[in-house]
Chain A
Amino acid sequence: MGYVLEARGLVKRFKSVVAVDGVDLTVSAGERVALLGPNGAGKTTTLLMLLGAITPDEGTVDIDGHRLPRGRSRGMSEVGFVAGYLPLPDRLRVREALSIFGGLCGMRRADADRAVALNLERFAVAHLADRMCMDLSSGQRTLIGIVKAVLHQPRLLVLDEPTASLDPDVAFRVRSALLEVSGNEGTALLVTSHNMVEVERLCERVVFIAKGRVVADGPPADVVAQYGHEDLEAVFMHLAGTRLNEADI
């Protein structure tokens, strides 16, 4: 099975600080992977490099075979990105904003409109279609952001804390819809989250980063066993604690 995302030997330095130190990360088609790590571990920097927002000092990123940054446009056309902080055009209605984004991804107007209707329904937010984006709550913006990200049927969906601003029932609905997207359309998921319960429900593989390096990579149960804890949350605490202890020294 080919890799939708293949990052090799990623290194990023900010002056004398090595934020990411030789990270390798692959995501296969249809795979659901969590990228985890305590604050300051290098997770966000890694994510920014995977998305092409910053250029690594060393290493390569290929998205669906397109190497960044040269193949950025074609590579990113296979990626949908979801994060609560992603902006929406405040002065446009939801339907209009989504349709325009579909055009940005190269979709014909009619196809974009059809995909908008389908996905608004799928994520149970069809009632927001004619609302102005500026009038959406934080949770609603996240939901519309998810609709926006899946609109063009990307091969890879990158989700940064996708349910952080959602009520538990809505978060459950979103997880179900994401699993449906992944299952039906073969979309790979790369998720960052601090909610380990969510990770265990959504992902079949976890990659832990600490101090800019990958320290564990495998199915959740294997990683939990590797560290001798009872669940992912305990592993997370362990890694964060290790970092703090070493920093104290």
Chain B
Amino acid sequence: MRGLLATMGNAFAEARANRAALGSQMAVMVLNDVVWVVFWVLFFRRVGSVGGWDARRILLLLAVLTTAGGITLGLLANARRIGTMAVEGELDAVLTLPVAPLPYLLLRRVEPTNLGDLLFGVCLFVLSGRPTLGRTAVFVGVVLASATLITGFLVLTGSLAFFLGRSEGGDLGFHAIVLLGSYPVDVFAGVAKVLLYSVVPAAFVSTVPATLIDSFDAGRAAALAAVAGAFGLAGWATFTAGLRRYTSGSLWTRA
């Protein structure tokens, strides 16, 4: 545990070392997210609601997505680079350290740009999510579940690179989960909707969590926790199995 705390401390120390870039990159991402908010507000002002989703609910969905995405892509920034690191042989230095490789890798790098997402998501919830004590507690819980799910999914798709020898799976997984998660699943139908509840579990990344904040349901919350746990475990198992096939690239980067 002390080693992992040191890893996190190292990642923050490095991010802080370039304060100007840290601030500006976070600001750019916040601005980008604000544009999304403006777009959705203008859109729903014209159409009223779509599939039961109005501006207030979509902002709640956006708050969950950006906060959870900010945790994974900002604080656990290597989650989306697992495939590239596996294929390009960048894990050598990590594997010689006295720590569990996956937690180390995940905590090793902070991405300032996506910390902007995290900041924005929390602010958006405070400003538009009607944050009572109960709703805030649910928000925290579902965001953590969502972040676990995104992380597990990215590690899982990235780790396929150990077996396939190509890293596109990780990139594809990243785009699929984040893009599809930015829309309420109710706008999809048929097979697409089934896929979003299973193979690419984007529904559990944003729609289910946002719905839970508005109307908490124990069964649905348990389903979210189970799916998040399952993808977390699947990601870990795939990475661990993949390491046995890892071939050094002799790059000795700091990952």
Q: Which A residues are within 8 Å of any B CB, using their own CB?
A: 14, 44, 48, 51-55, 69, 72-77, 79, 81, 83, 85-87, 89, 91-92, 96-97, 100-108
Not counting A87-B93, A100-B10, A104-B7, a sample of 7 additional A-B residue pairs whose C-beta atoms are within 8 angstroms of each other reads A55-B245, A74-B98, A76-B96, A86-B93, A86-B252, A103-B2, A105-B3
Give the nearest-CB partner of A12 in chain B.
B247
Tell me whether B17 is interfacial, beta carbon within 8 Å: yes
Task: Assess the A91–B248 pair: CB atoms within 8 A.
Answer: no
Task: Assess the A106–B98 pair: CB atoms within 8 A.
Answer: yes
Q: How far is the CA of A106 from the CA of B14 in the complex (A)?
A: 20
Q: How far is the CA of A75 from the CA of B99 in the complex (A)?
A: 10
B18 / chain A contacts, CB cutoff of 8 Å: 91
Q: How far is the CA of A53 from the CA of B250 in the complex (A)?
A: 10
Give the nearest-CB partner of B101 in chain A.
A72
Residues of chain B from 13 to 47 with CB closer than 8 A to chain A in the complex: 13-14, 17-18
**Closest beta carbon of chain A to B52's beta carbon, Å:** 48
**Closest beta carbon of chain A to B112's beta carbon, Å:** 12
A-B contact pairs, 8 of them (CB 8 A): A53-B96, A54-B247, A72-B101, A73-B100, A86-B252, A89-B14, A100-B6, A104-B7
**Closest beta carbon of chain A to B19's beta carbon, Å:** 11
Task: Assess the A52–B9 pair: CB atoms within 8 A.
Answer: no
**Closest beta carbon of chain B to A205's beta carbon, Å:** 23
A interface footprint on B185-210 (CB within 8 Å = 1, 0 otherwise)? 00000000000000000000000000
Q: How far is the CA of A101 from the CA of B2 in the complex (A)?
A: 11
Task: Assess the A104–B99 pair: CB atoms within 8 A.
Answer: yes
Tell me whether B155 is interfacial, beta carbon within 8 Å: no
Task: Assess the A69–B92 pair: CB atoms within 8 A.
Answer: no
Task: Assess the A100–B98 pair: CB atoms within 8 A.
Answer: no
Task: Assess the A104–B14 pair: CB atoms within 8 A.
Answer: no
Q: How far is the CA of A103 from the CA of B1 in the complex (A)?
A: 10
Task: Assess the A51–B96 pair: CB atoms within 8 A.
Answer: yes
**Please, how many residues of chain B have a CB less than 8 angstroms from a CB on the other chain?**
31
Q: How far is the CA of A104 from the CA of B91 in the complex (A)?
A: 17
Task: Assess the B14–A69 pair: CB atoms within 8 A.
Answer: no
Task: Assess the B98–A51 pair: CB atoms within 8 A.
Answer: no
Task: Assess the A103–B9 pair: CB atoms within 8 A.
Answer: yes
Residues of chain B from 237 to 255 with CB closer than 8 A to chain A in the complex: 243-248, 250, 252-254
B126 / chain A contacts, CB cutoff of 8 Å: none
Q: How far is the CA of A101 from the CA of B7 in the complex (A)?
A: 8
Q: B97, B244, B245: which has the most chain A beta carbons within 10 Å?
A: B97
Task: Assess the B99–A52 pair: CB atoms within 8 A.
Answer: no
Contact of B2 among A53, A76, A91, A106 (CB under 8 A): A106
Task: Assess the B95–A53 pair: CB atoms within 8 A.
Answer: yes
Task: Assess the A69–B244 pair: CB atoms within 8 A.
Answer: yes
Task: Assess the A51–B95 pair: CB atoms within 8 A.
Answer: yes
B254 / chain A contacts, CB cutoff of 8 Å: 87, 89
Residues of chain B from 52 to 95 with CB closer than 8 A to chain A in the complex: 91-93, 95
B6 / chain A contacts, CB cutoff of 8 Å: 100-104
B245 / chain A contacts, CB cutoff of 8 Å: 55
A69 / chain B contacts, CB cutoff of 8 Å: 243-244
Tell me whether B5 is interfacial, beta carbon within 8 Å: yes
**Closest beta carbon of chain B to A89's beta carbon, Å:** 6
Q: B91, B101, B247: which has the most chain A beta carbons within 10 Å?
A: B247
Q: How far is the CA of A51 from the CA of B97 in the complex (A)?
A: 9
Give the nearest-CB partner of A108 in chain B.
B2
Contact of B248 among A54, A73, A102 (CB under 8 A): A54
Q: How far is the CA of A103 from the CA of B98 in the complex (A)?
A: 11
Q: B18, B96, B252: which has the most chain A beta carbons within 10 Å?
A: B96
3 smallest CB-CB distances across A and B, nearest first, come from A103-B6, A77-B98, A91-B17
Give the nearest-CB partner of A96 in chain B.
B13
Residues of chain B from 92 to 141 with CB closer than 8 A to chain A in the complex: 92-93, 95-101
A53 / chain B contacts, CB cutoff of 8 Å: 91-92, 95-96, 246, 248
B248 / chain A contacts, CB cutoff of 8 Å: 48, 53-54
Task: Assess the B98–A52 pair: CB atoms within 8 A.
Answer: no
**Closest beta carbon of chain B to A43's beta carbon, Å:** 12
Q: How far is the CA of A79 from the CA of B253 in the complex (A)?
A: 19
Give the nearest-CB partner of A78 in chain B.
B98
Q: How far is the CA of A86 from the CA of B251 in the complex (A)?
A: 9
Task: Assess the A76–B13 pair: CB atoms within 8 A.
Answer: no
Q: How far is the CA of A85 from the CA of B249 in the complex (A)?
A: 13
Task: Assess the B243–A44 pair: CB atoms within 8 A.
Answer: no
